[in-house]
Amino acid sequence: DGGITQSPKYLFRKEGQNVTLSCEQNLNHDAMYWYRQDPGQGLRLIYYSQIVNDFQKGDIAEGYSVSREKKESFPLTVTSAQKNPTAFYLCASRTTGGVGELFFGEGSRLTVL
Amino acid sequence: GESVGLHLPTLSVQEGDNSIINCAYSNSASDYFIWYKQESGKGPQFIIDIRSNMDKRQGQRVTVLLNKTVKHLSLQIAATQPGDSAVYFCAENNNNNDMRFGAGTRLTVKP
């Protein structure tokens, strides 16, 4: 089945450690997105990519990094520079052109101990 | 700051009643809007979308209204059911093709 897969679903990290969240899609979508969601809050855009080997910062990119070496994959690294990384992270994809729904993964919940 | 926001953070309705969830946006150049439903611990799911050249679009039990004059979007759910209980987000497509979301409205349906 076509879809978007995030892993791991739950992740615990010690302060000062980097962690990478995986996002893979087999929908043949060009555009991919990472959002952060805090409890009782909306989704805030971290990074997005509209094509392979290109990506743009969203509203809260500080402390995060991404890569887009393959069309299917858009991993997010939460670095030690992110001061408050505990959150629910959502990856999404869609076709380009500015129209069309975002397809979301099931999310990754990161907890910093 | 966020360019998309919601008027009410929570909404409680009786089963069978109609629900109306509101959203304000600030970017007059936004050309496409989507409503999403998110259940606890899951990713958002698409409900309905509307382009800026339309003012109304209907789906199954849902209607989205767009008022570009006052930059307002609403989602109407007819005959609300317990399964409709969730958080609802509106999202707008900016001219950079990044989708921005509002804070969400939690809809609770009372039996």
Chunked mean pLDDT (size 10), chain B, 111 residues: 53 96 89 93 93 95 96 96 95 83 91 89
Give per-residue burial for B76-110: e unless 16+ CB within 10 Å, then b: bbeebeeebbbbbbbbbbbeebbbbbbbbbbbebe
pLDDT tens digit sequence for A12-51: 999 889 999 999 999 999 999 999 998 878 899 999 999 9
In a domain, B5, yes or no: no
**Domain residues for B54?**
10-110
CA-based radius of gyration for chain A = 13
The tokens 């999202």 sit on which residue?
Answer: B91
- In chain B, the number of structural domains is 1
In a domain, B2, yes or no: no
In a domain, B96, yes or no: yes
In a domain, B23, yes or no: yes
Task: Identify the CATH number of the domain in which residue B100 sits.
Answer: 2.60.40.10
In a domain, B61, yes or no: yes
Cα-based angle A98, A104, A109 (whole degrees, multiple of 5): 135
In a domain, B41, yes or no: yes
List residues of chain A with CB under 8 Å from any CB of chain B: 31, 33, 35, 41-45, 48, 50, 56, 58-59, 90, 92, 96-99, 101-107, 109
In a domain, B4, yes or no: no
